[in-house]
Structure 1
Amino acid sequence: MCKTILYARVSTADQTLDHQKTQAVAAGFEIDEVVSDHGVSGVSTTLQERPEGKRLYDKLRHGDTLVVRWVDRLGRNYQDVTDTIRHFMRQGVVVRTVINNLTFDGSTADPMQEAVRDALIAFMAATAQAQAEATKEAQRAGIEIARKDGSKYRGKKPSYDRDKLHVVLEMLDNGSGATEIAKVTQLTRQTVLRIRKSPSAAEVALTRWGM
C-alpha cells in the first residue's frame, strides 16, 4: 500500500514542527506518517546526515509520496537538494510541496517534460540556498543592530518565532499575498505587512528577545 509521508524540519530548539503538518493538512494532503528532524540545520547537514532524514531512504518505496512544506525542508544546499529529489524520483517516489503545490515525478519519459521538470528542480534548489544566505545576512545585521542598541527598551515581544518568519519570507518570495500568508501562519495581516516592509526589523525584534 502506497503511503504519503510528510518530512518536517526545524533548525533551532525554539521552533516547532506542528505548523508544518497543519499547513499540509490544510492544503488537502492526507498524511499517513510524519518524519521530522528538530534542531537540525539544512545548511550544514545533508538529508542523509540527519537522524530522521536518513530514515526516509529506507522507508520510502515505489509509489509513495514525499511531502515537504517547501524544498528548503530537504536542505539549503543546491547540490544536496537536487541530488535528493532526483534520487527519490529514480526510486519511483513522487515529491510534492505544500507551498505552490509543486510535483516532481520521475515517471515521465517525454524529454521536453523532463527538461522542464529538471529546470524547475534546479531553480527551486538554487532559490533555497539563496534564501538561506539572505537569511543569514539579515540575522547578522539584526544581531549587530541589537548589540549596538541593546540598552534600549526591547519593545513588544514578537507574535512570530523564527520558523514562522522564515515561512512568511519564503511565501513573500514566492509571490503570496499578505492575506494568504496570514491564514497559513495564523499571524495577523498587519504583522505580515510589517515583516514585508522590513525583514531586517523583524530579525532585530527576534534577536532582542533572544528568539
Structure 2
Amino acid sequence: MSENDVKQIDFNEDTLNILYDTAVAIRKENHNNPDNKTIFSSLNKQKATIDAAMHIAYILTQLKDRVLVVNLDGQSVAYVEEYIHSKAKPNLFTTLKTSMFLSEAINPTECEKLDIIHVEDLPEEDLKKKFNEYNVLSKLSPLKNYYDHIFIIGPEVSNIDSYGTYLELADSAVTVISAINNNRKDLKHYLQKINLFNVKSFGILRKAD
C-alpha cells in the first residue's frame, strides 16, 4: 500500500483526522498489551470498513508497528487486495486442515510490517462449524506475540445471524456506520452485543454516503 493509495480513500478531511486519532488510540492501548485483537465491522458499509481498517493499519506500520490483518469476510478478498497486492489466496481453513499453526497461513504484503490472512468464501453455517471445529481463537491468540496489532475484518453485521462467532475472537472493536442511512435500533443492538462479549469499543466512525 503506497502513500497514493491512502490519499485515494473516500473519507473527508475530518474523518481522516479521526482515523489517525483512532490509530493512535489503538497503538496506545495495544502496546505491551496481550489483548491486541481489534475487529472492524459495520452494519452495511463493508467497503468503508475495509477502507478504515487498512488506512489505520497503514498508519501504524508507518509508526513502525507490526500489523496482521485477518480478513474474515471471504467476499471482500479482492477489495482488500487492492490495498496490499499480496496475491494471497484465501487459505485460513485450508491451512488449519493440515496444520496446527495458523501462522502458516500468513502472507506478506507490499507494505512493510503488514501481513495478511484471508478466509475462504463459505456459507455462514459452514464458517460457524469450521470456527468451532478448528478453535480459531486458540490458533489466533499465539500470533499476538509476533504482532503489535491484529486487525480482524468482519463481514457486514446485517448479513450474519450469529455475529458472536466473530466477536469472541476480538478484544476491541471499531464500528463503521453510514452518516445518513443508519438504523439506530440495529446499531444499538450491535453495540450491546459488543459489550456482552466484553469487547472494548474504540468508537464509531461515520462514513458519508
* TM-score computed with the length of structure 2 as normaliser: 0.31
Q: Tell which structure's C-alpha radius of gyration is larger.
A: 1
| More relative contact order, 1 or 2 (CA 8 Å, 6+ apart) | 2
* TM-score computed with the length of structure 1 as normaliser: 0.31
